[in-house]
Amino acid sequence: MKKIFLLSYFPILFLFNSCSETKVTQSEERPNIIFIMTDDHATQAMSAYGSRINQTPNLDRIANNGIRFDRTYCTNSICAPSRAVILTGKHSHFNGVLNNAQTFDGSQQTLPKLMKEGGYQTAMIGKWHLKSHPTGFDYWNVLPGQGLYYNPIFIEMGERKEYTGYVTNLTTDFALDWLGKRDEEKPFFLMLQHKAPHRNWMPSPDHLTMYDDVEIPEPASLFDDYKGRTSAASSQEMTIANHMDESYDLKVHTSKNANQGWQKDWMPSRIKSMTEEQRIAWLAAYEPKNQAFIEANLSGKELVKWKYQRYIKDYLRCIASVDDNVGRVLDYLEKEGLDKNTLIIYTSDQGFYLGEHGWYDKRFMYEESYRMPMLMQLPEQIKAGTTSDALLMNLDFAPTMLTFAGLPIPVDMQGKSFQNIATSGKGKLRDAAYYHYFEFPGVHAVKRHYGIRTDRYKLIHYYHDVDEWELFDLENDPQEMTNIFAAESSKEIIEKMKKELQQMQEEYQDTPDNFLPNLNRVSTKHLALNTTYEFVQKPHKRYENNALTNLTDGQHWQYSKYTSLPFDTWTGFNENDGEVTVDLGKKMPIQNLGINCYQNPDSWIYFPEGIEFSFSDDKKNFKNASTIELPVSQKTPIEGISFFDKKIENVNARFVRIKVNRKDKIPAGMPGEGKNTWLFIDEIIVE
């Protein structure tokens, strides 16, 4: 049963010093702050930004009553990293969350902690997506992981509870309930974060048939062929044509696809878990359209066009629920007299591709997923109907909220406050915005890249397993269809922008030699530390320079302490097994051998099939082979770190050969199925 809340009316006056008995005018008060964030909401799907495909009247209320920022960008276009940047005001390589696999360290300095220390009552409600529990909040109630659209589980202050209802409505219910019960003696800071419109775009019962009689306009680049751009554009795995799952994404579950795809059982299981009322409404909305699609037996461009319509309509239906619920919050604030002194911010963790370049998802530095919405309303400080083209980054959100709250910005925050721009509608914050995407190998196969965007140009460098550049003239090519990096006329621009890029990397301490955070390691006994190691089969070229150091530095990670890791502290193998010969310098008794291994299926990294040790006195004849077979529990395809070791008896040898047998292909049903796996190993322990 849906949880119903009774909301009471509270006339509120917040004081900077809550102990003061002096009555103050509203202009003297510190503002309340409500930070509303959705997941994957592109500016192309907001009427405040001139959308051609939908209307968002309640979001438009914020823009009309305040300011719309037209050039706000994320530093790393993927869910967890963007959220960590917003919480800390620091780039990914400083806050420790470079990709979705890593766990946010909640012990570090964050915006909610600073707000709480500054006298604000704090709450976090909705999608968290950072693996660790929220810290710095007086109250929190969050979705586990991605959360579910229908009948979701929430974790309230550490306790898991299941609810009946639609996630966007429930998230708003909990937020309004908290507002009604808050401490009236303090200003409040509420992070209200919706799951929608994240994949797989399941609309609410109220919007299941919205747009049924409408043909949504297609983007001009729906059938982009990626000519003239780098290999990154053509090698990704996020096209509507080839990579959407019919059952999971498009809600067409047939006998043909029942045993296919990485989420083959998702939709049937979700429909089964619905209430009878929800299920009847869902099937009534989708089954007739699905049957018509099956009978049409479409192919080629007509099939892509159908997929686009199904995808975009479900996406927009999810946004319609967000807009409705933002309206509920705005109405509540007006009713309670809180709207005049509450800073309302609306944004998303990044943008999204709505068919542009034939894509869905995000990750690339191209405008559609790089750009974020940013609307702000505070009637007594921000003039209604203002717009700004200042270059902002999500790095700036925390400093800006702190200055609005009258609190100092810590010197180690890397962002800047744009409060003055918001209140005046004038000025600029920087000449260029910096970007760095790390998650490769990984789901959707978007290459690692970094770059900068200025008023007119964008320079992108793809690296790791490629070395390619793109330059776009955004004034003449706003859709980013033509890479002009190789043009003779671009030389002067490239030289200038590369210098600017280097300066920004130095400013943010994100130089190519230091892309990853300097996290603590632990030492272990390593008798062979100063001996010679030789690769029998070489690691991937990305790891050739530091591979031996990683394997012989006498340090390794402990799974009990870390649940994730930066990639290049390990040695990676793509098509080769990890085979190494160790020269101990002299013949000696061997007591124990071991090796550290990492697994992350989302990034195509798997534990080995097995580990073999053999011994020799002359480096020619290896014998006394000893094998470590992985236990069944270690073969489960989930992220983890394991140290595999074996006690050795009655062996004296100078040379030890270690062969770590790479799992050959990614298994069916997993991201990247059928492709080569990666093997990641760290320390070779010889005792």
pLDDT in tens, 449-489: 999 999 999 999 998 888 899 999 999 999 999 999 999 99
Strands 578-589 and 532-537: antiparallel
The pLDDT of residue 40 is above 70: yes
Identify the pLDDT of residue 601.
82
Strand runs labelled E in 279-367: 342-348
Which range in 490-499, 507-516, 601-610 is most confidently predicted, on average pLDDT?
490-499
Structure tokens, 24: 């103050």
The pLDDT of residue 77 is above 70: yes
Q: Last residue of a domain, which of 405, 427, 449?
A: 427
Q: Give domain status of residue 646, yes or no.
A: yes
Identify the pLDDT of residue 540.
80
Q: Which of 105, 530, 65, 609 is nearest to 330 (CA)?
A: 65
* Mean pLDDT to the nearest integer, 211-219: 97
At 552, the pLDDT band (50, 70, 90 cuts) reads: confident
Identify the pLDDT of residue 362.
97
Q: Last residue of a domain, which of 427, 442, 463?
A: 427
Q: Which of 631, 615, 543 is nearest to 582 (CA)?
A: 615
The pLDDT of residue 17 is above 70: no
Q: Give domain status of residue 162, yes or no.
A: yes
CA dihedral 316, 319, 321, 325 (to 10 degrees): -160
Residue 617 to residue 654: CA distance in whole angstroms? 5
* C-alpha 627: how far from chain center: 39
Residue 503 to residue 529: CA distance in whole angstroms? 38
Identify the pLDDT of residue 554.
66
Identify the pLDDT of residue 263.
57
Residue 212 to residue 222: CA distance in whole angstroms? 21
The pLDDT of residue 515 is above 90: no
Q: Give domain status of residue 238, yes or no.
A: yes
Residue 328 to residue 305: CA distance in whole angstroms? 35
Question: Considering its fold, how many domains does the chain have in total?
Answer: 3
The pLDDT of residue 350 is above 60: yes
Which of 125-129, 152-156, 391-395, 614-618 bottoms out in mean pLDDT, i.e. has the lowest? 614-618
The pLDDT of residue 672 is above 70: yes
At 24, the pLDDT band (50, 70, 90 cuts) reads: very low
Whether residues 274 and 340 share a domain: the answer is no
Which of 132-146, 237-251, 560-574 bottoms out in mean pLDDT, i.e. has the lowest? 560-574
Whether residues 131 and 193 share a domain: the answer is yes
Which of 33-42, 97-106, 125-134, 558-567 bottoms out in mean pLDDT, i.e. has the lowest? 558-567
- Per the CB < 8 A criterion, the answer to whether 484 and 472 are in contact is yes
Q: Give domain status of residue 2, yes or no.
A: no
Whether residues 332 and 189 share a domain: the answer is yes
229-254 pLDDT tens trace: 999 999 999 999 999 999 899 999 87
Identify the pLDDT of residue 29.
85
* Mean pLDDT to the nearest integer, 652-679: 87
Strand runs labelled E in 380-431: 386-388, 392-393
Whether residues 347 and 394 share a domain: the answer is yes
3-state secondary structure 114-140: HHHHCCCEEEEEEECCCCCCCCCCCEE
Which range in 401-410, 552-561, 596-605 is most confidently predicted, on average pLDDT?
401-410
Whether residues 561 and 668 share a domain: the answer is yes
Whether residues 547 and 667 share a domain: the answer is yes
The pLDDT of residue 424 is above 90: yes
* Mean pLDDT to the nearest integer, 354-376: 98
Whether residues 211 and 192 share a domain: the answer is no
At 563, the pLDDT band (50, 70, 90 cuts) reads: very low
The pLDDT of residue 524 is above 60: no
The pLDDT of residue 14 is above 70: no
At 546, the pLDDT band (50, 70, 90 cuts) reads: low
- Per the CB < 8 A criterion, the answer to whether 331 and 396 are in contact is no
Whether residues 171 and 219 share a domain: the answer is no
At 571, the pLDDT band (50, 70, 90 cuts) reads: confident
Average pLDDT, the chain: 88
The pLDDT of residue 595 is above 90: no
The pLDDT of residue 565 is above 50: no
* C-alpha 388: how far from chain center: 26
400-412 pLDDT tens trace: 999 999 999 999 9
Residues sharing a CB contact under 8 Å with residue 261, sequence separation 6 or more, in sequence order: 245, 246, 247, 248, 669
- Per DSSP, the three-state class of 44 is helix
Residue 660 to residue 613: CA distance in whole angstroms? 9
**Residue of 629 and 173 predicted with greater confidence:** 173
CATH number at residue 391: 3.40.720.10
Q: Give domain status of residue 266, yes or no.
A: yes
Identify the pLDDT of residue 261.
54
% of the chain surpassing 70 pLDDT: 88
Which range in 56-70, 562-576, 621-635, 651-665 is most confidently predicted, on average pLDDT?
56-70
Whether residues 60 and 155 share a domain: the answer is yes
* Mean pLDDT to the nearest integer, 166-190: 97
Whether residues 197 and 209 share a domain: the answer is no
At 398, the pLDDT band (50, 70, 90 cuts) reads: very high
At 144, the pLDDT band (50, 70, 90 cuts) reads: very high
3-state secondary structure 320-342: HHHHHHHHHHHHHHHHCCCHHHE
Q: Which helix (H) or strand (E) element contains residue 469? A: strand 468-473
Q: Give domain status of residue 498, yes or no.
A: no
Residue 45 to residue 510: CA distance in whole angstroms? 33
Strand runs labelled E in 539-678: 555-556, 571-573, 578-589, 592-599, 610-616, 623-629, 640-647, 652-661
Q: Last residue of a domain, which of 274, 306, 338?
A: 306
pTM: 0.77
Whether residues 193 and 342 share a domain: the answer is yes
Q: Give domain status of residue 142, yes or no.
A: yes
Identify the pLDDT of residue 26.
34
Residues sharing a CB contact under 8 Å with residue 17, sequence separation 6 or more, in sequence order: none
The identity of residue 113, as a single letter, is K
* Mean pLDDT to the nearest integer, 543-550: 71
Length of the chain: 687
Whether residues 233 and 264 share a domain: the answer is yes
* Mean pLDDT to the nearest integer, 540-562: 63
Identify the pLDDT of residue 102.
84
Q: Which helix (H) or strand (E) element contains residue 507? A: helix 491-507
Characterise 593 by phi-psi region: left (phi > 0), alpha (psi -120 to 50), beta (else): beta
Identify the pLDDT of residue 317.
98
Q: Give domain status of residue 507, yes or no.
A: no
The pLDDT of residue 9 is above 50: no
322-336 pLDDT tens trace: 999 999 999 999 999
CATH number at residue 563: 2.60.120.260
Provide the residue range defining the domain that includes 222.
205-306
The identity of residue 645, as a single letter, is D
Identify the pLDDT of residue 624.
79
Identify the pLDDT of residue 4.
32
Identify the pLDDT of residue 257.
61
- Per the CB < 8 A criterion, the answer to whether 590 and 686 are in contact is yes
DSSP-assigned states of every residue in 175-205: HHHHHHHS-TTS-EEEEEE--TT-TT----G
Structure tokens, 208: 């299941």
Identify the pLDDT of residue 139.
98
